[in-house]
Chain A
Amino acid sequence: MAIDFEIPEHIIQQQQMVKYIADTTMRPFSRELDENEHARPKEYVEALWPLLSAQQASSLKKIKAKLEAEQNGETTEDKKKDRPSTQYLALMHMVEMLSWGDTGIYLCLPSAALGGSAIEAVGTPEQKIRLLSRFAEGDPVWGAMAMTEPNAGSDTSAIQTTADFDEESQEWILNGEKIFCTSGGLALEESDGLVIVWATIDRGAGRAGMKPFVVEAGTSGVKVVKEEIKHGIRASNTVAISFNDARIPADNILGSRDVQTKGGRGFKGAMATFDASRPLVAASAIGIARASVEFVIEKLAEEGIDIPYGAPYHKLTAVQRDVMEMEADLKAAYLLTMRSISLLDQKISNPLEASMAKVKAGKATTRITQKAVEILGMMGYTREWLIEKWMRDGRINSIYEGTDQINTLIVARRILGYSRSELA
């Protein structure tokens, strides 16, 4: 190993393709979809679905082949690769570029998304094939994750949604309400998708009783009760879902149904998905920040203002200093994110690095986009340009997938060696 920042050629090529998608199916529709909040990004979905469904088909094919081999009594060994995976590095750069295009539209990604991550992480091969096949063929389908409830935001252990097992019908019965579910409406009502719903099977057991359940479109007792109106990322479908005696098959629980009082894997499983999702949210934040910095530099250049890197501090204008600070913050966020992603690809535990990246990217993007509006003056404030929208879009990154405060708390606990009870 050596310290190295070289992005592999296949990711650079992928970036050109993703940028084309951003330029043709996202940017031209940004304003229109922002002003018509609950409209859907058809062009984007049509452009991405063939690519994403083909990816899902190929991954399912491998799972099927492995399962069949095992059923025939053959031992399968994962092929040892010479070089570490670049799967997450590629994903990070794709998410960054799509968010550079438009973050609200990006979030309407027609794929299993976070729901898929949970199934991939904890599901059995049979569950993967049964639940994920819909994402590999036919019309566009969405997956989603429902964790947050009206009284359980950052404190996910406080969820109230219950799952009770009906021995007679061999079904789980879900009751409760989930809010702020990204693409939940697309998954349940506008396609044959699914939502991973976190519910407790034993209220007295706390975190250990929390389990992920797969709720498929068309399940009776499940209703999308509200589509939120938001500050930014308006093209993204954010919904509340109610569960009234919603019955799902016994096999739609992911992972064990035992309540483990110590080291309960249910809650830990939920937390582990953050190790991958937080760096990707950071990547998304960076996409908006980069779009904003590029736009500011372009507009300043049109006014004859350039950024003289290397000039002494006392010879820079305030605006030049601001822009350099924005660029530095963007670079800092990008590199912290790439570090956390690199650990993921090497399958090395990364919760500290993931939270560091998320905090930095969230704060940097919030500050960069707000500063961009300020630097561009009146025009920055108009809805003629997209910069005011990017400021609104950027703001979510300090909130979802763990607020800046929650992630700072995680960093603090890790560097101080404190448990949850020692540093609350």
Chain B
Amino acid sequence: MVSFIPTEDQQLLIDTINRYATADIRKTAHEHDEKSEPDLDTIRKGWQIGLIPASIPETIGGFGEMSAVTSALASEELAFGELSTALHIMTPALFAYPLVLYGTEDQQAQYIEMFLDEDIAPATAALLEPGIGFDPHDMKTTATTNGDTVSLNGTKAFVPLAESAEVILVYAKDSESGDVSAYIVETSADGITIEKREQLLGIRALPTYRVNFTNVSVSATAKIAIDYPVILNRMRLGLASMAVGVARASHEYAVDYAKGRVQFGRAIAQNQSIAFMLAEGRIDIDAARLMIWEAAWKIDRGEEATREAVLAKQFADKMVLQVTDSGVQTLGGYGFIREYPAERWLRNGRGFPTFDGLTII
């Protein structure tokens, strides 16, 4: 039955995150963007909403189930607050979700505990590699099996929170078969070098790092046999949902501003040039959201959704850039001033087409 209404539980979650995004995240977003440092108190509060435990089944200690649709709803709302914070809170999911979806019982027993803790789990993942564009099907990092151990070699980029992480899920290509798998790597292992913190155009409050792996040896049991295409699709939808959240933040602000800003004796929103820009933005925001929901719904039914996920992500990438740019334009000179949030949303929005694979939601 075709319906566009979230369940009551989902709506409750949306409302909870919305209150947190509006009352907490927004308050310190500018300050922490300026300082290029995360607001750990606010992030701790967001972590305690329990999004990740809510995606872990009861049988292994959580209190919910994995749903791509619910994740999409939650991600949009978090990013409506601030993208850096949203990505920060969901970084441990990069590790937790593949563990829940594809991990063995032993792997789950060993690592699930940290995701049920009241402090943010010190876990992340390394997928992207340096270069102008990352092709997930042409990975350079290798995994070479020698008996009971696997040796990892390569350089990863945009690894969020790598410095504080205790475990990293490293994606690598089997040097013989060419298949991509994920490997659980403790950051205390030899051969891991955090090369540098990356300096970015946007999402400045989220520390991301370039990390080198040279002959990092892990047990063969550290391998998680992932369904790589599905993981990639979940990542695409997580990011696309956040793009909708960022766009919505910018758009709502621009609507309010345009109604309040009087020039030539009337609100600038009363000019069709402004009003139409805002109308077109709203149409594309809604369209992107529906495309994400459809693809997520397919994933939850276990159906192949690559085409839908790719199209949703591409549409959202373009949409968020257009909408956040309109946001800056609507504010005119104030759009260029950093004390106003419009330019930050544009810098954050610009990132979406570039950080494919930064996060799994």
Contact = CB atoms under 8 A, between A and B. Distances in A.
Interface of A: 1-8, 83-84, 86, 89, 309-315, 324-325, 327-329, 331-333, 335-336, 338-339, 342, 356, 359-360, 408-409, 411-413, 415-418, 422-423
Given A4-B297, A324-B310, A360-B283, A336 B290 contact: yes
Contacts of A359: 279-280, 283
A339 B291 contact: no
B306 A332 contact: no
Contacts of B6: 1-3
A316 to B, nearest CB: 10
Interface string B140-157: 000000000000000000
Interface stretch (B93-101, B127-135, B200-208): B127-135
A335 B269 contact: no
Interface of B: 1-7, 10, 69, 132-137, 229, 232, 255, 258-259, 269-270, 272, 275-276, 278-280, 282-284, 286-288, 290-291, 293-294, 297-298, 306-308, 310-312, 314-315, 353, 356
A415 B134 CA distance: 38
B276 A342 contact: no
Nearest to B281: A415
A332 B284 contact: yes
Contact of A6 (B1, B4, B283, B287): B1
Given A3-B293, A332-B291, A356-B283, A84 B1 contact: yes
B310 A83 contact: no
A360 B270 contact: no
B287 A336 contact: yes
Nearest to B72: A3
B2 A338 contact: yes
A310 B4 contact: no
Contacts of A331: 291, 294, 308, 311-312, 315
A2 B135 contact: no
9 contacts: A3-B69, A5-B298, A83-B1, A309-B307, A309-B310, A310-B229, A328-B315, A332-B287, A416-B259
B287 A314 contact: no
**Binding site secondary structure of chain A:** helix
A325 to B, nearest CB: 7
A359 B286 CA distance: 13
**Binding site secondary structure of chain B:** helix
Contacts of A84: 1
Given A315-B133, A331-B308, 19 more contacts: A3-B10, A3-B293, A4-B2, A7-B2, A89-B2, A309-B307, A310-B232, A310-B306, A310-B310, A312-B136, A314-B132, A324-B314, A331-B291, A332-B315, A339-B286, A342-B3, A412-B272, A412-B275, A415-B278
B278 A412 contact: yes
B140 to A, nearest CB: 13
B272 A409 contact: yes
B3 A1 contact: yes
Contacts of A310: 136-137, 229, 232, 306, 310
Contacts of A83: 1
Contacts of A329: 315
Contacts of B229: 310
Nearest to B280: A408
A72 B7 CA distance: 45
A3 B297 contact: yes
Contacts of A408: 276, 279-280
Nearest to A364: B287
Contact of A4 (B3, B276, B291): B3
Contact of B135 (A8, A312, A422): A312
A329 B287 CA distance: 9
Contacts of A5: 2, 293-294, 297-298
Contacts of A324: 310-311, 314
Given A332-B284, A335-B290, A2 B7 contact: yes
Contacts of B69: 3
Given A3-B3, A314-B132, A328 B286 contact: no
A343 to B, nearest CB: 8
A97 B233 CA distance: 30
